[in-house]
Amino acid sequence: MAPLKLAIVGGGPSAFYVASRLLSLLPQTSAHASSLKIHLYDRLWAPYGLVRYGVAPDHPEVKNCTHKFDTAATDPRLRFFGNVNIGTPSPIPTTLPLSLQSLLPYYTHVLFSTGCSVPILHPALPPSQFCVPALSLVHWYSQHPSAPRPPPDLSRIRHVTLIGQGNVSLDVARMLLTPPAHLAQHDVPAPVLAALRASAVEHVSIVGRRGPLQAAFTTKELREMMNLPDASMAPLDSAHLAAAQTNGGAALTRQQARTLQLLQKGSKNPPGSTRKTWSLDSFRAPTGLVTPPSGPSPSARAQLTLAHTALDPAQRAVPTGETSTLATDLVVTSLGHRAEPSLPWYDPALARLRTLRGRVLGADGRVVRNVYASGWAAMGARGVLASTMLDAYAVADTILRDHFPQFGPASASTSPEEEEGSTTVGGELERAADLGAAVDAVEVLPRGEDVDFEAVPPEVDAGLREGRVTEFEDWKAIDAEEIRRGQAAGKERERFVSWDEAREFLAKVRT
């Protein structure tokens, strides 16, 4: 059987789900086990991507998927190489740069699982000391290795306005409004806790251009906001609540009905009973921000202009002609993300890679043979971990069927995921295989017989010798040390906050 040597660019959940699926469909007891090799590259020195650096610290249960990833990483056919940046410009100066041209000769297949790492900005709200993307705050409270600029001085900020009503907005609002003593038990780095303890934030406005029932946040996230221990929700505008109840004459979905029930009930703490408050400011769209010459202070607030909107019959937000102004100390935009534009096969119209059923397409629409994409890099920044998992399994199935036409996941032993409802085997796989065989494909990778099954690019070899590139064993040593430090401090973990700190630790444990 021809070897399948796969390079996965990206080390987040989609990458690990694809790897796990491939390894389970060709188990080590299989006659074909030796035909598979997976090398997983990430620009970060720690694995798991958004699971480690995007999931809110007070949602530790969401990180349980890492147990599955750890199991995959124990398979000797998988190797993880961290702190390696492939192809695109890196925001992390300490990474090892590796061009895509240097990577390709060593692999028969390549999968891009690079996510969507570039925040979408609002055209009327340019970044400034008064306006930052939500991603910069998420990177701050998770201590992302990109070493973003320090957050605005929260000790000088009383009012924060979030633009966008998705889960990320609610995560940021919850972090700002939850008592630091409650956060201290979770994976919140000590410098972040110190800044939150000094915070003067009293109110968070969450602005959306449509109504509360059209908001992108989940019922679970809204319920958490309603149950904040030391904050209360400002009463929802009565006209907005009435509009939500009628929903333009359309029947309420199950989630909309639950959201409406929560809004009607209100927060656990009655309005006016707490120093900290928050509000859903629906049917508002920002049109500009006038900033004072000095930094944020109670006497020098920015003025955010808002156009009032209403829903048209197609549920789109349209301006009513009315406007208002909101005084605020900080505007945080949370409007979604796009893939890195410098990635090969990036489509600006889609804000992601150009794909069809996981296969990467060139600008002419032809399949790029043996090049794939999964997760947000292929789907765009949408969905939750469950949808990422299902997409990853489908892409893994396609990779196997494309490479081994005589062997498909449908003929492999049934996995637990298939029993849980994966629909990627059978007829859909047959159609995908037919599609791959029918098109005139572009060739960018070498033939299998021309690839050294064990080798890695020499730049990576050198990085391993220099201690600049991390492997999974390095991560497990760091992971154990973070947990040990956390236990000593009475919390989930105390994470390494810089590569320099992690590298110094690794230099000691490797000797």
Q: Are the beta carbons of 291 and 130 closer than 8 angstroms?
A: yes
CA angle 182, 167, 54 (to 5 degrees): 70
| Residue 467 domain flag | no
Distance, in Å, from the CA atom of 42 to the CA atom of 83, rounded to the nearest integer, reads 6
* CATH number of the domain bearing residue 360: 3.40.50.720
112 and 16 in one domain?
yes
99 and 188 in one domain?
no
168 is in an annotated binding site: yes
449 is in an annotated binding site: no
Distance, in Å, from the CA atom of 423 to the CA atom of 418, rounded to the nearest integer, reads 7
167 is in an annotated binding site: yes
221 is in an annotated binding site: yes
Distance, in Å, from the CA atom of 178 to the CA atom of 199, rounded to the nearest integer, reads 11
362 and 222 in one domain?
no
165 and 16 in one domain?
no
Q: Average the pLDDT over 430-437 and give the result.
A: 44
The CA–CA distances, whole Å, from 322 to 287, 310, 318, 319, 325 equal 12, 11, 11, 8, 11
Q: Are the beta carbons of 327 and 302 closer than 8 angstroms?
A: yes
pLDDT in the model for residue 2: 82
Last residue of a domain, one of 335, 358, 384: 335
Q: Are the beta carbons of 233 and 277 closer than 8 angstroms?
A: yes
pLDDT in the model for residue 295: 62
| Residue 462 domain flag | no
Distance, in Å, from the CA atom of 198 to the CA atom of 376, rounded to the nearest integer, reads 36
Residues 133-158 pLDDT 10s: 999 999 999 999 986 667 889 999 99
The two beta strands, 346-347 and 276-281, are unpaired
Last residue of a domain, one of 278, 311, 335: 335
Q: 3-class SS at 328?
A: strand
| Residue 264 domain flag | yes
The CA–CA distances, whole Å, from 205 to 214, 231, 241, 280, 333 equal 17, 13, 17, 6, 12
64 and 190 in one domain?
no
Q: What percentage of the chain exceeds 90 in pLDDT?
A: 78
290 is in an annotated binding site: no
Distance, in Å, from the CA atom of 27 to the CA atom of 355, rounded to the nearest integer, reads 28
pLDDT in the model for residue 116: 96
pLDDT in the model for residue 425: 32
| Residue 380 domain flag | yes
Distance, in Å, from the CA atom of 475 to the CA atom of 45, rounded to the nearest integer, reads 8
147 and 101 in one domain?
no
Residues 181-233 pLDDT 10s: 999 999 999 999 999 999 999 999 999 999 999 999 999 999 999 999 999 99
Contacts of 364 (CB under 8 A, 6+ apart): none
182 and 76 in one domain?
no
| Residue 173 domain flag | yes
pLDDT in the model for residue 391: 96
- With a threshold of 0.85, does the pTM exceed it? yes
| Residue 465 domain flag | no
Q: Average the pLDDT over 410-422 and give the result.
A: 35
Burial call 124-135: b when 16+ CB within 10 Å, e when fewer: ebeeeebbbbbb
| Residue 128 domain flag | yes
Q: Average the pLDDT over 302-319 and give the result.
A: 94
115 is in an annotated binding site: no
Last residue of a domain, one of 280, 315, 335: 335
Residues 261-282 pLDDT 10s: 999 999 999 999 999 999 999 9
* CATH number of the domain bearing residue 176: 3.50.50.60
261 and 235 in one domain?
yes
Is it the case that residue 426 has pLDDT exceeding 90?
no
235 and 178 in one domain?
yes
Label residue 5 by pLDDT band (50, 70, 90): very high
Average of per-residue pLDDT values in the chain: 90
329 and 342 in one domain?
no
Residues 6-40 pLDDT 10s: 999 999 999 999 999 999 999 999 888 899 999 99
Distance, in Å, from the CA atom of 434 to the CA atom of 166, rounded to the nearest integer, reads 39
| Residue 316 lies in domain | 121-335
- What residue type is assigned to position 424 of the chain? T
pLDDT in the model for residue 242: 85
482 and 434 in one domain?
no
| Residue 385 domain flag | yes
Q: Are the beta carbons of 387 and 396 closer than 8 angstroms?
A: no
Task: Take residue 50 and report the two structure tokens written for it.
Answer: 């958004």
361 and 305 in one domain?
no
pLDDT in the model for residue 147: 65
Distance, in Å, from the CA atom of 270 to the CA atom of 329, rounded to the nearest integer, reads 25
Radius of gyration of the chain measured on its C-alpha atoms:
24
If one counts the domains in the chain, the total is 3
Among 286, 336, 413, CA closest to 31: 413
